[in-house]
Structure 1
Amino acid sequence: MDISPATLEEIRKRQAAVERTYSPYAARNAGAVRKKDARAEEPVIRPPFSRDADRILHSRAYTRYIDKTQVFSLIDNDHITHRVLHVQLVSKVARTIGRALGLNEDLIEAVALGHDIGHVPFGHTGEECLDGICRQAGVGAFRHNVQSVQFLDAIEDLDLTLQTLDGVLCHDGEKFVGRLVPAGPISAASLRSKCEMIRGGAPVLPSTMEGCVVRAADVIAYLGRDLQDAIEVGLIDRDDDDLAAICRETFGIDDYQTITRTTIDTLIKDLITESFGKAEISFSDEAAEGVKKMQTFSIDHVYNHPRLTSQHEKIRRMFAALFEHYSADLEEEKRDSPIYTDYLDAPWVSREYREEASEGEKVRDFIAGMTDRYFAERFRAVVLPERVRGTYRTEG
């Protein structure tokens, strides 16, 4: 059923009225750019950045968020954060900030939903393992934010706007920056250049205010949540004096149960206050110092905790075994291998990608896209011998 021209015109007027309330630094829907722009769009009901968010939500890569843990990959607990929850938290935090600053919430949502799609099984430990293997294999450095663009742009070919892809690429919440100034014009060439800079270890910034908001919101969303999860699973004692001092001194937190919500509330208000009416997204010096202290505590007491790092070598061997196995399957063209049946022959994989990607890139992308559960299943299938069920014969 088509919407009547009169209704569309009224909706268009309302949208125009909303855009007139935007900050002068906000991304406009009319400025959205796609590399191909091959699909017909109705920009009134579904503006371009809103359409980006929809395409990401319906992608195969997004569905795999459901079984990718945030930090605690090897700890069973149904109340800790998984990637699918983390990206929703980032989206909520970022849209709250964007609404207050008069920015484009549709673009913010699209960037937030897609920003962590490139994460591999076992989180940052898995990323370190795959990075080393890819370098040895001649594929180049592995970076999860570059991989996010690889999944969304090359593999599934969603034809997202360059603004969304740029925000996804430049999110990098692990490297905290207290003042984010948009990096300038966006083009396909600038996107490729940023990918190479990131692979080489150089810092990059988003080219839109909305991308900067998501990058800041990524930190806000995980900062308190990771600590609260660590307390939940017993990595940190709830009476830890160092944590209590940091929480009290930086954000006035006296009860560990309020770490997440107080951190989020305090930093959102600080960011809005410091950024309002400016062409930048920034924290106050005091808030930035508090973020750094909490990050340092998390690195020392959570991310590098022996319960999380003791299995690193086993995980590295798992990644190496799967990379070697599926490289051999590609070389020998074993069409019944999961790298074909579950990946390369799937209808959602771009034909251009299948024809142009190197074998090493295909193996990298197949492994990077696995969920934690599927990764473990594939490893067992590759390493453990398959049992053959026999039949009993009776002599009559």
Structure 2
Amino acid sequence: MEGEIFKKEILDFEDNYLSPYAAKNGQARRERETAHPFRGPYSRDRDHILYSGSFRRYVGKTQVIYFSTSFDEQLSNRSIHTLQVSQIARSIGKAIKLNLDLIEAIALGHDLGHAPFGHDGEEILQEICRERKIGLFFHNLHSLRIVDKLADSCRGMNLTFQVRDGILSHDGEINEKYLKPNRSKTEADLIDYGRKKSQGEKASILPATLEGCVVRMSDAISFVGQDLEDAIRIGILKKDELPEKIKKELGESNTAIINSLVTDLIINSYHHDEIIYSSNIAERVFELKQFNVERIYQNSKLKAKKTKLKNDFRYLFNKFAEDLKKDNEDSLIFKEWIFNRGKNKGANYVNSNLSEQIVIDYIASMTDRYFYNTYIKYKK
């Protein structure tokens, strides 16, 4: 009883400090209720994500440049990106009095479902899914699949609705001047969005919390300047090629760009139930994103290996699909994936999923290096 009073005092103190627009600890809901003597629901979700295997694999997954750590360990990877999203979102959330535990949990979990080799890997898996006529692969859908279905030997993490919603709704690649949460969202809305998106239909989604909106904006803030600096570092861009308006109003370095965008969001969002840029800054952000698309993401030097990468993905997919069909338990898909999916060597996982989906799950879990080494092992 003393522990319950102690916990209530802690959480009430936190909730009373927060903005009226913040997500309160007392509003959190999850499928299977659990208790802890003094920790709040979102802090437990954050730590569950932080100590997961999927989080540890962030460090080996590419952000933009393939095998970046093999030739320059200062270039960004998925781990650095995720931690930067978290810190940027915390800075904004602290200034406007939002729930920092919820922000951190969403930020740390938002990219768990990314495939190896960044968005190129994601696009290749989508092509394979189309060919096999199964639900399309998108990293935000797969992030939710990991925390709901695949983590903890297929028991799932049992995260709160608010964290799960933020992970699913995090897309930072959309150009948005402002975000206002859709507080009426239900579990049915998440399911409907996932169904439409996986079937290739047009689907849009807004976060259910202001904290989710902050993470979504912070996702873009974290990569627009960092990708620019990485491109300059490897020599595919020069700093003086950046348009003058962007340099003047946002800055020329990642640090300056982050500072400009975070400051603008805080000033314009304070005491509002929305996260909003000033019109001028929003315009510059959209211009910088487009500049990055044209000069970095579509750069022929970076895309030179994509054709080979497609062949490598298809080779491994076909190899593991055949191993599943033949029940080849010597295959890595059994030894290093299926047998770790729960009791009876992952029998429930195998019986409740299409074989193609199991292969997609396995390949998506790989780091860049693991993928490469696996390909070499079988291609010898």
Report TM bin, short chain.
Answer: over 0.9
Structure 1 residue 88 corresponds to structure 2 residue 94 = no
CA distance in 2, matches of 1:64, 1:348: 20
Corresponding residue number in structure 1 for 2:29: 33
1:129 is displaced (CA, Å) by: 0.7
Structure 1 residue 57 corresponds to structure 2 residue 50 = yes
Which segments of 5 or more consecutive residues in structure 1 lack a partner in the other structure? 385-396
CA distance in 2, matches of 1:11, 1:52: 17
**Native 8 Å contact 1:35 1:188 kept in 2:** no
**Native 8 Å contact 2:57 2:367 kept in 1:** yes
Corresponding residue number in structure 1 for 2:230: 229
Structure 1 residue 73 corresponds to structure 2 residue 86 = no
CA distance in 2, matches of 1:280, 1:352: 43
Structure 1 residue 135 corresponds to structure 2 residue 166 = no
Deviations 1:58-94 (A, max 9, x none): 1111111010021111442111111111111000010
Corresponding residue number in structure 2 for 1:216: 217
**Native 8 Å contact 2:82 2:111 kept in 1:** yes
1:362 is displaced (CA, Å) by: 0.5
1:307 is displaced (CA, Å) by: 1.1
CA distance in 2, matches of 1:12, 1:166: 25
Secondary structure at 2:239's aligned position in 1?
coil
Corresponding residue number in structure 2 for 1:314: 308
Deviations 1:260-303 (A, max 9, x none): 11111111111111111111111111111011111011011111
CA distance in 2, matches of 1:205, 1:244: 31
CA distance in 1, matches of 2:175, 2:240: 27
Q: Which structure is larger by alpha-carbon Rg, 1 or 2?
A: 1
246 and 315 in structure 1: CA distance in 2 versus 1, 3 angstrom threshold: farther
Corresponding residue number in structure 2 for 1:366: 362
**Native 8 Å contact 2:150 2:341 kept in 1:** no
1:15 is displaced (CA, Å) by: 3.2
* Matching of residues 318-357 of structure 1 within 5 Å: 318-346=312-340, 353-357=349-353
**Native 8 Å contact 1:22 1:102 kept in 2:** yes
Corresponding residue number in structure 1 for 2:18: 22
348 and 371 in structure 1: CA distance in 2 versus 1, 3 angstrom threshold: farther
CA distance in 2, matches of 1:7, 1:343: 40
CA distance in 2, matches of 1:358, 1:36: 26
1:335 is displaced (CA, Å) by: 1.1
Deviations 1:115-147 (A, max 9, x none): 011111110111111100011111121111001
1:246 is displaced (CA, Å) by: 3.9
Amino acid at match of 2:72: N
**Native 8 Å contact 1:98 1:104 kept in 2:** yes
1:104 is displaced (CA, Å) by: 0.8
**How many residues in Structure 1 have an aligned counterpart in Structure 2?**
370
316 and 127 in structure 1: CA distance in 2 versus 1, 3 angstrom threshold: same
**Native 8 Å contact 1:149 1:169 kept in 2:** yes
**Native 8 Å contact 1:127 1:144 kept in 2:** yes
Structure 1 residue 112 corresponds to structure 2 residue 107 = yes
**Native 8 Å contact 2:55 2:112 kept in 1:** yes
Which segments of 5 or more consecutive residues in structure 2 lack a partner in the other structure? none
CA distance in 2, matches of 1:246, 1:338: 52
TM-score of the aligned structures, taking structure 2 as reference length: 0.93
> Which has the larger helix fraction?
2
Amino acid at match of 1:379: Y
83 and 236 in structure 1: CA distance in 2 versus 1, 3 angstrom threshold: same
CA distance in 2, matches of 1:105, 1:353: 35
Corresponding residue number in structure 2 for 1:168: 167
